[in-house]
A and B are shown apart, each in its own frame.
Chain A
Amino acid sequence: MSTLAEHDALQASAPPIASGGSGVPAPVAPTGRTAGASRRVGRVGMAALIALCVGLTLTFLALPIVALFTEVPLADVPGLLGDRTVQDALGVTLRANLVANLLIILLGTPTAYVLATRRFRGRALVITLVELPLVLPPAVAGIGLLAAFGVAGLLGPDLQDAGIVLPFSEWAVILAVTFVASPFYMRQAITAFEGVDRTFVDAARTLGAGPIRTFWRIWMPLSAAGLVAGWVLAFARGIGEFGATIVFAGNVGGKTQTLTLAVYEELDSNFDVALAIGILLVVLSAGVLLSYKLIVSWRDSTSQSVSPFGRSRSTSS
């Protein structure tokens, strides 16, 4: 408070200049000694304001997480997680994400490679398409999937003739997760491929390596860390997927009920189980994010060792 008072005093002593007809002195830029003091006060005020913002932000973000852990006795959590519903949901979540991630990596990596290395008309449009699920509301993604692959959808009759009925099946969950999580991998993969130093590629080609060999020996190792980071993010998004799944895949216990859907359902019937699943998901997500950070810092250190002047690390060891 003393700084404020000091500030007011300084304001008062500052030479008033034309202040309109209001009679209230307009704030003017102080000069000389006064200016220095005012700047100091400004700095202190600024620091206090920033501290306040930081404190508010961190408290606001941490409070719900802390509350999750304090609301239910931690000793009860393992018992609650032993619940049949939770076990089934955990199984569905892990299975669906495993397959979805395989699909994303197997199909997404070549696509990202092409998008990163080729320049063609409409490339920006294609990249926008690839990134669109990132900003699309998940429920809309679910409706889109229904309209495409649902029984009455665009491909529905053809799929049905082939004996494939997606809604209410585990494949529906896999498709939903693949759709919403793929951009997280694709974006990182495109960036990673774009970041590969072309001199290595050219060197490999001049030394007689074919395109396939160059891809596996140059492109992949040099972008590996970026690809893994992208995969970790896609995995995290997939674990948390809710909207597209509940719309497209339904809520079938043991088949399409993922952990997030189980949280939603248990909220009505068993709040403690819902909280326990919440804690499990927090731990999972935090673990995934932490491993992402570790991978990123590892990538930064490896990319240094690849650069021509970065060999000191390996020679000094």
Chain B
Amino acid sequence: MTKLLLRFALPLALLLGLAAPAASSAALNVYAAASLRDVFTQIDATPAFNFLGSNQLQLQIERGAPADVFAGASTVEAQALFKTNHCKRPVTFATNKLVLLVPKGNPGKIRSVYSLRAGGKRLSIGNAGVPVGAYTRALLRRLGLSKVLKNNIVSQETNVANVVSKVALGSADAGFAYVTDGKIAGDRVQAIRLPRYAQPPVRYQICQVVRDGVNAGGAGSFIAKVRSSRGRSRLKAAGFGLPPKG
């Protein structure tokens, strides 16, 4: 019997033992919008990051995901989390602008956003739920170009990173993303500027998550790092706009 126990139960116990620490680690978990991937890892590479669409992250946090910090690409998600007491009062730490990305060499021959009016192009955009998708729709509405989502072939992506990769790989003739994404994707894509008057205000908000066992100290110092002069200069270098210091 002891032998049996040793043979079967011990490996099982070992397995469970291995699984346990992963669940209860006291590391800092930062849930951040996909467009923040590069700049956040530059500011501080030590936390465990989860980069997705801000709306997906909001959903995960509402369902009890072990996040300590949330940083979204719009005010919608952070404010919703704040209202339902899932996070402390959010602060704006960066702004961004939309651009139209096209693959290197511009195979779709797109000169400006108005080239999309003709239709028949392959477009990559965020879906209506993710901030970049909501901004894209707002921008097109202001330009009176909402029609382009009907007469072009539109692939709906769950976060901005997927929009960019569809353009970078040439699957899409064009995609709406942030100006900061154009910088990251480098020479695989070209960015076409969009009329300034149509730009929606893109504001990034960060907050400390409220939950049992939250790493409040780590969260506070990460948020401070992002808002510090060094954090601001990194954000600026990456192409983000900055809110007045305060």
Given known pairs A167-B122, A168-B122, the reply for A252 and B155 (CB within 8 Å) is: yes
Interface hits, B1-57 → A, CB 8 Å: 1-4, 8, 53, 55-56
**Contact present for A168 and B127 (CB under 8 Å):** no
Interface hits, B62-111 → A, CB 8 Å: 103, 107
Name A146's closest neighbour in chain B (CB-CB): B169
B156, CB-defined interface residue at 8 Å: yes
Interface hits, A161-203 → B, CB 8 Å: 165, 167-169
Mark interface residues in A128-148 (1 if CB within 8 Å of B CB, else 0).
Answer: 000000000000000000100
**Contact present for A152 and B103 (CB under 8 Å):** yes
Tell me the count of chain A residues lying within 8 A, CB to CB, of chain B.
34
Task: Name 10 interchain pairs, CB-CB below 8 A, sorted by A.
Answer: A42-B4, A150-B171, A160-B107, A167-B172, A168-B171, A250-B155, A253-B154, A255-B153, A268-B127, A269-B128
A41-B1, A167-B170, A268-B129 are known contacts; what are 6 more A-B pairs with Cβ within 8 Å?
A27-B3, A42-B1, A42-B4, A251-B155, A252-B156, A253-B156
**Contact present for B1 and A251 (CB under 8 Å):** no
**Contact present for B166 and A250 (CB under 8 Å):** yes
Name B188's closest neighbour in chain A (CB-CB): A152
Which A residues touch B153, using CB under 8 A? Answer: 168-169, 252, 255
A49, CB-defined interface residue at 8 Å: yes
B237, CB-defined interface residue at 8 Å: no
B224, CB-defined interface residue at 8 Å: no
- Could you say which of B1, B56, B103 contacts A268, with CB atoms under 8 Å apart? B56
Which A residues touch B129, using CB under 8 A? Answer: 268-269
Mark interface residues in A11-48 (1 if CB within 8 Å of B CB, else 0).
Answer: 10000000000000001000000000010011001100
Shortest Cβ distance from residue A35 to the other chain B in the assembled complex, whole angstroms: 13
**Contact present for A250 and B2 (CB under 8 Å):** no
B181, CB-defined interface residue at 8 Å: no
Q: Which B residues are within 8 Å of any A CB, using their own CB?
A: 1-4, 8, 53, 55-56, 59, 103, 107, 122, 124, 127-130, 153-158, 166, 169-172
**Contact present for A252 and B154 (CB under 8 Å):** yes
Name A27's closest neighbour in chain B (CB-CB): B2
Mark interface residues in A248-264 (1 if CB within 8 Å of B CB, else 0).
Answer: 10111101110000001
What is the CA–CA distance of A265 and B172 in the complex, to the nearest angstrom?
19
Shortest Cβ distance from residue B118 to the other chain A in the assembled complex, whole angstroms: 16
A-B contact count (CB 8 A): 77
**Contact present for A49 and B8 (CB under 8 Å):** yes
Which B residues touch A11, using CB under 8 A? Answer: 2
Which B residues touch A95, using CB under 8 A? Answer: none
- Could you say which of A41, A46, A49, A265 contacts B127, with CB atoms under 8 Å apart? A265
A299, CB-defined interface residue at 8 Å: no
**Contact present for B4 and A151 (CB under 8 Å):** no
Name A3's closest neighbour in chain B (CB-CB): B1
A98, CB-defined interface residue at 8 Å: no
Which B residues touch A146, using CB under 8 A? Answer: 169, 171
**Contact present for B156 and A167 (CB under 8 Å):** no
Which A residues touch B55, using CB under 8 A? Answer: 268
Which A residues touch B56, using CB under 8 A? Answer: 268
**Contact present for B156 and A168 (CB under 8 Å):** no
- From A11, A38, A252, A255, residue with most partner B Cβ within 10 Å: A252
**Contact present for B158 and A151 (CB under 8 Å):** no
- Could you say which of A7, A49, A165, A256 contacts B155, with CB atoms under 8 Å apart? A256
Shortest Cβ distance from residue B215 to the other chain A in the assembled complex, whole angstroms: 26
- From A38, A165, A256, residue with most partner B Cβ within 10 Å: A165
